[in-house]
Amino acid sequence: MKNSTRPDQLGKNPGVSGLILSSLAGGEKHGYALVKDVAEFAGVDLAPGTLYEALARLERLGLIEAIATDDRRRPYRLTGAGASALSEYLAMQQQVVKVGQSRLARGWSFS
């Protein structure tokens, strides 16, 4: 379907969604482990309200899924659709990085 490749597939606030999906790409994690992992690899401190807003959105979009457990720490994992969406999002980000770096290299010098 044409909608499956749209750029806003990660929903609102794709930056936060991208961070969460990137974290879950490394394996299933519960809320606190996600916050710690994102802080470690991206230096971003995800506030609890923002984290759960994004988790609810990604779960509703079918990009992640909660794993059934008796423990109150419920882990989340990436779905196939989530992996595909993350791959498209990262490719787009790479394109932005490439363009930005090449333009900086042409017009700016840093000592």
Q: Which stretch, 17-25, 43-51, 94-102, 103-111, contacts another protein (CB under 8 A)?
A: 43-51
Binders of another protein among residues 78 to 97 (CB under 8 A) are 79-81, 84-85
Give the ranges where the chain is alpha helix by DSSP (H).
14-25, 31-42, 48-60, 80-107
For residues 96 and 43, give the distance between their C-alpha atoms in angstroms, rounded to a whole number. Answer: 20
24 binds another protein, rule: CB under 8 A: no
Q: Is 1 in the site for another protein (CB under 8 A)?
A: yes
Binds another protein (CB under 8 A): choice among 15, 27, 48, 100? 48
Q: Cβ contacts of residue 25 below 8 Å, gap of 6+?
A: 78, 83, 86
Binding status of residue 35 toward another protein by CB under 8 A: yes
